[in-house]
Amino acid sequence: MYYNWREKTNTEELKVICNLIKNGELVIFPTETVYGIGANALDKDAVSKIFIAKGRPADNPLIVHIADKRDIEKYVREITPVEQKLIDTFMPGPFTLILPKKDIIPDIVSGGLDTIGIRMPSNVIARGIISFSGVPIAAPSANVSGRPSGTSIEDIRKELEGRVSAIIDGGETEIGLESTVVKVIHEIPVILRPGKITDKDIIDAVGIAKYDNKIFEKVTEEQIVESPGMKYKHYAPNTKCKMVYCEDELDQIFYINRYIRQYKGDVALLSFDEHREKIVVSDSRFISLGSKNNLEEIARNIYSALRKADSINAEVILIEGVKREGIGIAIMNRLLRAAGYDILEK
* Binding-site ranges for ligand TXA (CB under 6 A): 31, 33-34, 36, 60-63, 96, 98, 110, 113, 115-117, 119, 139-141, 178-179, 181, 192-193, 226-229
Q: Quick one: which of 38, 175, 168, 204 has its CA closest to 94?
A: 175
**Helix (H), strand (E) at residue 191:** strand 188-193
Q: How far apart are CA 152 and CA 161, in angstroms?
A: 13
Q: How far is the CB of 24 from ligand TXA (least distance, A)?
A: 19
Q: How far is the CB of 125 from ligand TXA (least distance, A)?
A: 12
Residue 76 DSSP code? B
31 interacts with Mg ion by CB under 5 A: no
Q: Which does 46 bind (CB under 5 to 8 A by kind): Mg ion, ligand TXA, none?
A: none
Helix pair 81-90, 199-206: axis angle to 10 deg: 120
Q: Which does 34 bind (CB under 5 to 8 A by kind): ligand TXA, Mg ion, none?
A: ligand TXA
Segment contacting Mg ion by CB under 5 A, of 96-104, 137-145, 250-258, 280-288: 137-145
Judged by beta carbon, residue 55 or residue 207, the one nearer ligand TXA is 55
Q: Which residue is nearest to ligand TXA (CB)?
A: 229
Q: How far is the CB of 238 from Mg ion (least distance, A)?
A: 17
Q: Which does 117 bind (CB under 5 to 8 A by kind): ligand TXA, Mg ion, none?
A: ligand TXA
Q: Which does 279 bind (CB under 5 to 8 A by kind): Mg ion, ligand TXA, none?
A: none
Q: How far is the CB of 174 from ligand TXA (least distance, A)?
A: 11
As a dihedral over the C-alpha atoms of residue 151, residue 138, residue 29, residue 21, rounded to 10 degrees, the angle is 160
Q: Are 85 and 37 in contact (CB under 8 A)?
A: no
Q: How far apart are CA 66 and CA 96, in angstroms?
A: 11
- For 56, the 3-state DSSP assignment is coil
Q: Which does 321 bind (CB under 5 to 8 A by kind): Mg ion, ligand TXA, none?
A: none
Q: What is the tally of helices (H) and strands (E) in the chain?
A: 10, 15
Judged by beta carbon, residue 100 or residue 254, the one nearer ligand TXA is 100
Q: Which does 31 bind (CB under 5 to 8 A by kind): ligand TXA, Mg ion, none?
A: ligand TXA
Judged by beta carbon, residue 63 or residue 332, the one nearer ligand TXA is 63
Q: How far apart are CA 278 and CA 104, in angstroms?
A: 57
Q: How far is the CB of 96 from ligand TXA (least distance, A)?
A: 5
141 interacts with Mg ion by CB under 5 A: yes
The values of phi and psi at residue 195, to 5°, are -155, -160
**Helix (H), strand (E) at residue 64:** strand 63-65
Segment contacting Mg ion by CB under 5 A, of 77-85, 123-131, 141-149, 301-309: 141-149
Q: Quick one: which of 54, 176, 49, 180 has its CA closest to 123?
A: 176
Judged by beta carbon, residue 192 or residue 243, the one nearer ligand TXA is 192
Scanning 27-147, the segments in alpha helix (DSSP H) are 44-54, 72-75, 81-90, 124-133
Q: How far apart are CA 86 and CA 70, in angstroms?
A: 14
Q: How far is the CB of 214 from ligand TXA (least distance, A)?
A: 11
Q: How far apart are CA 184 and CA 195, in angstroms?
A: 16
Q: How far apart are CA 218 and CA 216, in angstroms?
A: 7
Q: Which does 63 bind (CB under 5 to 8 A by kind): ligand TXA, Mg ion, none?
A: ligand TXA
Q: How far apart are CA 111 and CA 59, in angstroms?
A: 4
Q: How far is the CB of 36 from Mg ion (least distance, A)?
A: 9
Q: Which does 334 bind (CB under 5 to 8 A by kind): ligand TXA, Mg ion, none?
A: none
Q: How far apart are CA 326 and CA 89, in angstroms?
A: 18
Q: How far is the CB of 228 from ligand TXA (least distance, A)?
A: 4
Q: Which does 40 bind (CB under 5 to 8 A by kind): Mg ion, ligand TXA, none?
A: none
Residue ranges binding Mg ion (CB under 5 A): 141
